[in-house]
Structure 1
Amino acid sequence: MNSTDLPRLTVRSPADLIAAVPYLLGFHPADSVVVVALSGSRVVFAARGDLPGDLPDDVDPGEAATHIAEVTARQGADSATVIGYGPASRVTPAVDAVRVALPEAGLAVLDALRVTDGRWWSYLCTEPECCPPEGTRYDPQASTVPAAAVFAGQVALPDRAALAAQVAPAGGDAMRQATDRAERRLADLLATAPATDLLGARALRAAGAAAIRATRRRHRSGEPLTDDELAWLCLLLTHLPVRDHAWERTDGRDDDIAFWAEVLRRAEPALIAAPGSLLAFAAWRDGQGALAAVALERVLAEHPDYSLAGLLDDLLRRGVPPSRLDGWPAGGPPRELRRGRRRSRRRPR
């Protein structure tokens, strides 16, 4: 799901809305049902879910529709348009289920569309003059929306797989060797810690703070991080006080997202839990819910019990708006971050 802090995009027609969806999600959807939510005339949220045939066997399509409607209603929206991507036999049941669920969640349905092979159909309009039975051909490039989105710095990747590729592993033998060296360095650090430093906790915190400060500074200056620097940072991040020190200094800035994405890609799989969770947090804070979701999917596949990843996964599932964290951590964590991990079976992506 995505909360959308996009600049105002002028949407005058169904074709304009269809052209805007890839920039709201960050990628071009396929075999999907998408809900675009509005508060007044402003788009505030977009969520994507799989079509029923692509859902896990234990997920009921009606339950999935109810969930996406409830998540959308939490965004302060008052209306929504549903768009299904794919053949009618698969799209229609999904769109119908969401059309029923949205009013039950307190949202007016502005329109319900199906998009297939360069044409769109409306489930609500029966006038052949504007909604012919053979569908309406559209050309996204004929709309001003893509140009406005690109000018504002928005990107629409070809598909969700391209988004997942941004967090795919890019390590190798050199990083494995650097991690081995980092482990020996950590053993030396703990061995030389004063006897009064229980379990070397103070030494670890000091080394972690220094590594975070140094690597962030180098990244901001455009200097590439060495394998040894990155491996040392990732190993220190397994110490929770170091991870939390980094978390407190991570928000939704572009630099945060770029930094933690690089660390996640290059880290050894055993060490991706913290950087992947921090990337997800930064992306979620920036309204890039789809990027946060793919980062968490990678973390939880390797580390299913990592608590921070589980907590952020829960926030995404429940559609908690990133604005709930405004002012954190100065005022302490908000209620949503204190609720702990609670999984549901389905998350719009």
Structure 2
Amino acid sequence: MVRRAKVSGMTPDCSIIVRTPAEAVAFTPYVLGFHPSDSLVVLGLSGKVVVVGVRYDLPPPAAAFDEVAQVIAHQGAPEVMVLGYGKPRLVTPAVLGLVGALAPVGVRVREALRVTDGRWWSYSCSDETCCPAEGTPCRSDLAAEAVYRGMVALPDRKALVARVASATGAIRRDMAAATERARSRFTDLTGADVEAGRGGQLIRKAGRQAIREAERVARGGGMPSHDGIAWLGVLLVRPVVLDYALARSGPDDWRLRLWGEVVRLVEPEYAPGPACLLAFAAWRSGDGALARVAVDRALKQEPTHRMAAVLDRLLGLGIGPQALVDLRAPVRSGQGRRGTDGRRARRGARRRSL
């Protein structure tokens, strides 16, 4: 399967300007959030501004080029730069195959490059005065500019995956104990709900309270306790609680910190819910690479998870955060979402459904 690491909807204060092949090579890791290897990368350009970045693993299946070209065309960027990272035997057929697939869908390729062992070569230029046969060294001074602007590129994709991996050691033992307490608490709550004939209202109320409290703590710079995180994990198994958290989600840094920490600390079986919340917040912020690994974490744990599947499809289609899609489960006829529609209208945040 071709994996995509997509970055879109970059905000004006972090816009990347690419005028030359050297700049494209230097800035691509900061568009993706990590240094790519054995990868095919496409930078979508509007003028000189990078408006989208898409990454695929190498080698892709031969049939994937048409699919990739359609996804790129969907972004609406007038032209692109195509960069292949790795050995020539992997990169050259992939770059040339994609370039050939882009022309029929109306996407102009400004430049096609190979990056190998700290040097780059152009497939578009044969003039040795500017593109020597031995390649051109990658420029560290251009990368330093991105760092100065506060942009980050992790060493590789494995480092990004590690950000959503389960914590180990003493923390894991503490969380295992906290999770047992949370499970017992949830069992008691479910029993009370059934006994009172509340139809799940007590669980919905507890879920909303837990989400709001976690947000309050994280917004102030802190993190919930281990018991609080375990309680969140257990509650987020319920779709009604996950939907509530998604409806409140946004691109805030503190949300990324919150759900990133919850994903790491919850027992693995409870990771899909917070992983989806991390993915959605990352997608909203334009960090498609983090969104991708978070969705992968959710699907690895639970391949049939409804929300993870929706987010996987959203990322795969290259839909940008400007779409502001409503990812919640549809409500059956005659049932409303109590208290949410009015608040959303007052905020003026109308969301389109997929």
TM-score using structure 2 length = 0.87
Aligned to 1:116: 116
Q: Following TM superposition, by how much is the alpha carbon of 1:148 offset from its aligned partner in structure 2, in angstroms?
A: 3.7
* Change in CA separation of 1:291 and 1:163 when aligned onto 2, cut-off 3 Å: same
The letter for the 2-side match of 1:290 is A
Residue deviations 1:238-281 (CA, integer Å, cap 9, x gap): 12211111111111111111111111010111111110111111
Aligned to 1:137: 137
Q: Structure 2: 5+ residue runs without aligned partners?
A: 1-5, 328-340
Does structure 2 conserve the Cα–Cα contact (< 8 Å) formed by 1:197 and 1:203? no
Distance, in Å, in 2 between the alignment partners of 1:333 and 1:308 is 17
Does structure 2 conserve the Cα–Cα contact (< 8 Å) formed by 1:4 and 1:24? no
Aligned to 1:310: 309
Q: Following TM superposition, by how much is the alpha carbon of 1:333 offset from its aligned partner in structure 2, in angstroms?
A: 4.7
Q: Following TM superposition, by how much is the alpha carbon of 1:129 offset from its aligned partner in structure 2, in angstroms?
A: 1.1
The runs of at least 4 consecutive aligned structure 1 residues that moved more than 4 Å come to: 326-329
Aligned to 2:127: 127
The letter for the 1-side match of 2:28 is V
Distance, in Å, in 2 between the alignment partners of 1:237 and 1:260 is 12
Match of 1:162 among 147, 159, 164: 159
Does structure 1 conserve the Cα–Cα contact (< 8 Å) formed by 2:9 and 2:321? no
The secondary structure found in structure 1 opposite 2:23 is helix
The secondary structure found in structure 2 opposite 1:172 is helix
The secondary structure found in structure 2 opposite 1:157 is coil
Q: Report 1:55-134 matches (<5 A).
A: 55=60, 60-61=61-62, 63-134=63-134
The letter for the 2-side match of 1:149 is A
Distance, in Å, in 2 between the alignment partners of 1:142 and 1:153 is 15
Aligned to 2:255: 256
Does structure 1 conserve the Cα–Cα contact (< 8 Å) formed by 2:18 and 2:48? no
The letter for the 2-side match of 1:153 is G
Aligned to 1:334: 352
Distance, in Å, in 1 between the alignment partners of 2:223 and 2:311 is 29
Distance, in Å, in 2 between the alignment partners of 1:194 and 1:302 is 29
Residue deviations 1:15-71 (CA, integer Å, cap 9, x gap): 11100000000000111111111122221111111121xx5xxxx22x222222211
Does structure 2 conserve the Cα–Cα contact (< 8 Å) formed by 1:2 and 1:290? yes
Does structure 2 conserve the Cα–Cα contact (< 8 Å) formed by 1:9 and 1:148? no
Aligned to 2:34: 27
Q: Following TM superposition, by how much is the alpha carbon of 1:308 offset from its aligned partner in structure 2, in angstroms?
A: 0.4
Distance, in Å, in 2 between the alignment partners of 1:227 and 1:17 is 43
Q: Following TM superposition, by how much is the alpha carbon of 1:195 offset from its aligned partner in structure 2, in angstroms?
A: 4.2
Distance, in Å, in 2 between the alignment partners of 1:149 and 1:249 is 32
Residue deviations 1:197-217 (CA, integer Å, cap 9, x gap): 344x11111111111111221
Distance, in Å, in 1 between the alignment partners of 2:91 and 2:67 is 17
Q: Following TM superposition, by how much is the alpha carbon of 1:151 offset from its aligned partner in structure 2, in angstroms?
A: 3.5
Does structure 2 conserve the Cα–Cα contact (< 8 Å) formed by 1:95 and 1:112? yes
Does structure 2 conserve the Cα–Cα contact (< 8 Å) formed by 1:4 and 1:46? no
The secondary structure found in structure 1 opposite 2:193 is coil
Aligned to 1:296: 295
Distance, in Å, in 2 between the alignment partners of 1:192 and 1:15 is 64
The letter for the 2-side match of 1:310 is A
Q: Report 1:161-200 matches (<5 A).
A: 161-170=158-167, 172-193=172-193, 195-199=195-199
Distance, in Å, in 1 between the alignment partners of 2:269 and 2:175 is 12
Distance, in Å, in 1 between the alignment partners of 2:185 and 2:20 is 61
Q: Following TM superposition, by how much is the alpha carbon of 1:220 offset from its aligned partner in structure 2, in angstroms?
A: 2.1
Q: Following TM superposition, by how much is the alpha carbon of 1:166 offset from its aligned partner in structure 2, in angstroms?
A: 0.5
Aligned to 2:57: 50
Does structure 2 conserve the Cα–Cα contact (< 8 Å) formed by 1:47 and 1:68? no
TM-score using structure 1 length = 0.88
Distance, in Å, in 1 between the alignment partners of 2:101 and 2:191 is 60
Aligned to 1:283: 282
The letter for the 2-side match of 1:84 is G
Residue deviations 1:120-154 (CA, integer Å, cap 9, x gap): 11111111111122212232x222xx344334332
Distance, in Å, in 2 between the alignment partners of 1:307 and 1:278 is 13
Distance, in Å, in 2 between the alignment partners of 1:45 and 1:155 is 17
The higher relative CO (CA closer than 8 Å, separation ≥ 6) is in: 1
Question: Is 1:38 matched with 2:35?
Answer: no
The secondary structure found in structure 2 opposite 1:2 is strand
Distance, in Å, in 2 between the alignment partners of 1:333 and 1:306 is 22
Identity of aligned residues (%): 44
Q: CA RMSD in A?
A: 1.9
Distance, in Å, in 1 between the alignment partners of 2:206 and 2:91 is 54
Q: Following TM superposition, by how much is the alpha carbon of 1:164 offset from its aligned partner in structure 2, in angstroms?
A: 0.4
